[in-house]
Amino acid sequence: MFQIRQLLLASIAVCFTSITLAQSLSQKITTAFHQFASHESLAYGTASLTVINAKTNQVVFSANEKVGLAPASTLKTLTSAAAYYLLGTDYTYETTLAYSGEIDPQGNLKGDIIIRGSGDPSLGSDRFPQTSDQTVLSGWVKAIQQAGIRHIEGAVIVDDSRYNGHTAPGGWTWQDMGNYYGAGVSALNWRENAVGVNFRAGGTVNAPTSIVSTTADISYLQLVNETTTGDRGTGDRVYAFSAPYASRIYLRGTYGIDLRKTVYLSLPDGAYDAAYQLHTALANAGIDQTSAPTTFHLLKLAGSEIPQPGKVLENYRSPALRELIYWFNQKSINLYGEAFLKTMVYQEEGKTDTRDGAEMLRDFWTNKLAIAPGELKLMDGSGLSPENRITTHAMARILTSIRTAPWFGSFYESLPTYNGMKMKSGTIGGVLGYTGYQTAPDGTPLVFSLLVNNYQGPAQPMRQRMFQLLNTLK
């Protein structure tokens, strides 16, 4: 009887201590959040914070948790987790090199070289040694040579038909689409659909700049340089303006007089660039072609015949999904999110439109966790659209739910570390967000989501105030 009483008293003590610690943490966050939200920078803005005890699934703190706010790149966590569930950690993309027609005894191919894409966002990227553009191009040239092809009476053609060509999500803005972070998506992405431009500043402030070089041959595009020289310390304020399939890119803004930086733009058609680069690489290897490089989409627009590929020369496989998601979250590459979104909706529903993918992503999470659909208004898979709206309640619940998934360790590792905390950041105009994981001083695992919309003033002071608020979880 005495032992039972002692055990009962011990259990009560543990429960009392846990409740006391939980109340203490909740009160600590409450005080910090009130101070944070009352700052003058949020006089016309909104802040929302949800903190969940991941062990008990109980809410430790919440404020404005059911208010839909623009999430910016914190949305990438939802896309990543859904991709793990629907595609699997070991999922890979296949890109096929093939040819149509026949090769005669002299090595003349009376047909075309065809590259068929399946949406790989890493093809030609320098994130991995095996995916770099030169490595991939060298492999393709070697495969063509080993097939005995010495001359091509045809063209290099990219089959980008799976997603009906190169597109950008409808909610993206004109200012974003021409820049590397606003690159559109295709069934054949190449070098992350981006290219770098090296500028030379003028001798004085406001003087015109000049373009010195580009990181790849894009002579088929016209770069209209309208940038001027900015003051010392003003950095890169260059914006590119173009749209899918544009042949002209306008460069506007300022480039600091003391700046030495490569500025990256989006390619209007990554699939065409891949065809163009292989066309050039083959010519340099002594394999000429009688026709100019092109894509299935461009042939379709022109009303031309679409060739049917015959013999496969090489099947190229991308790195595994878990490796792609690492870079997706670490470097917040919007293209990867849109590629994953299209891959998921194509595999699950046979559809290819971004809006269909966004609806599928919303339905996946609302059905899985019984979250109200109004808490997830999604327009893309990356968070670049300013029309996205998510509640911190939904975000925190989703991140809490995946902690027991077998792939959670891989997901967790993909999150960057800011302020000593594992969390994904998000930034677009007037929006800052952080969502992730932290262990409380008593060992309690916490999941949090913090979003700020329409704040006033510079971003860096707001980030520091957000970090100070999140420090209450440590």
The 10s digit of each residue's pLDDT in 249-282 is 999 999 999 999 999 999 999 999 999 999 999 9
- Give residue 5's pLDDT: 46
Residue 107's closest CA among 155, 145, 157, 156? 145
**Can you name the residues that pair with 185 across neighbouring β-strands?**
167
Distance, CA of 442 to CA of 457 (rounded, Å): 36
The label of the residue with tokens 């993918």 reads 357
CATH of the domain spanning 94-165+269-319, picked from 3.60.15.10, 3.40.50.2000, 3.40.1180.10, 3.50.80.20: 3.50.80.20
Q: Are 296 and 159 in contact (CB under 8 A)?
A: yes
Residue 185's closest CA among 384, 334, 347, 325? 334
Distance, CA of 426 to CA of 72 (rounded, Å): 5
In terms of Cβ atoms closer than 10 Å to its own Cβ (0-12, 13-18, 19+), residue 354 is buried
Q: Which residues of the chain have pLDDT under 50?
A: 1-20
- Give residue 23's pLDDT: 65
Query: Cβ contacts of residue 458 below 8 Å, gap of 6+?
Result: none
- Give residue 310's pLDDT: 87
The domain spans of the chain are 23-89+323-473, 94-165+269-319, 178-183+192-266
User: What one-letter code names the amino acid at 378?
Assistant: L
Q: Look at the domain 23-89+323-473 and name its fold.
A: Beta-lactamase (3.40.710)
User: What one-letter code names the amino acid at 22?
Assistant: A
Distance, CA of 385 to CA of 394 (rounded, Å): 19
Query: Cβ contacts of residue 41 below 8 Å, gap of 6+?
Result: 455, 456, 457, 461, 462, 465
Grouping H, G, I as helix, E, B as strand and the rest as coil, residue 167 is strand
Q: Are 105 and 457 in contact (CB under 8 A)?
A: no
Length of the chain, in residues: 474
